[in-house]
Structure 1
Amino acid sequence: MKKLLFICSQNKLRSPTAEAVFSEYEGLETDSAGLDRHAKVPLSTEAIRWADMIFVMEKSHKSKLSKNFLPFLKDKKIICLDIP
């Protein structure tokens, strides 16, 4: 089973929506988190370790993810969806 992690800023709209949509597909396990400290579900190293693939909504999210979690991103595929 592929594990997909969706990340946005606050984990209020974009990443939870993507999580819900992709959770309907067989063979996928999904989760979501936010990069901001006050996000509904703040991103954790555990979530990163859990994920096979990480989807960010904006290029700035990818930069912030790399800046704050670089040691945990080895061998992780990170895809930017360009959803502002």
Structure 2
Amino acid sequence: MLNILFICSRNRWRSLTAETIYKKHKTVHVKSAGTENNARIKVNAKHLNWADIVFVMENHHKEKLMQQFPNECSNIEIVILEIPDEYKYMDKELIEEIQDSVSCYISDKA
């Protein structure tokens, strides 16, 4: 099983949608968190130590993780999905964009 962490700013729309899409997947465990203080679930070192791979929605999320958690980030792959903050939770376009972006890491076979 692969442990996957999805990160956006507030963990309300993008990363939460990604977690919802993959939470019943048979080959991965997923969690999501946000980088902002007002995030639904704020990312911490424990999240990063748990993850095998981290998907961030934008480059500034990766920069924030690297700045706040340099030791934890040194041993994991962080992939920037380049999905802008212009979607609501479970938007059809957002779901498609997430699935297209992570398909080379997670098979669509749930």
TM-score bucket of the superposed structures, by smaller chain: over 0.9
Alignment of 1:6-17 (within 5 A): 6-17=6-17
Between the two proteins, the alignment pairs up a number of residues equal to: 84
Structure 1 length-normalised TM: 0.95
Alignment of 1:1-84 (within 5 A): 1-84=1-84
Greater C-alpha Rg: 2
1:23 to partner: Cα distance = 2.0
Amino acid aligned to 2:10: Q
C-alpha separation in 2, matches of 1:80 and 1:30: 17
- 4+ long deviations beyond 3 Å: none
**Residue aligned with 1:78, SS:** strand
RMSD over aligned Cα, in angstroms?
Answer: 0.8
C-alpha separation in 2, matches of 1:81 and 1:11: 15
**Which of the pair is proportionally richer in strand?**
1
Q: Structure 1: 5+ residue runs without aligned partners?
A: none
1:55 to partner: Cα distance = 0.4
1:27 to partner: Cα distance = 1.0
Q: Structure 2: 5+ residue runs without aligned partners?
A: 85-110
C-alpha separation in 1, matches of 2:69 and 2:75: 13
**Residue aligned with 1:37, SS:** coil
**Percent identity, aligned pairs only?**
38
Amino acid aligned to 2:69: F
1:83 to partner: Cα distance = 0.3
Aligned to 2:94: none
**Residue aligned with 1:40, SS:** coil
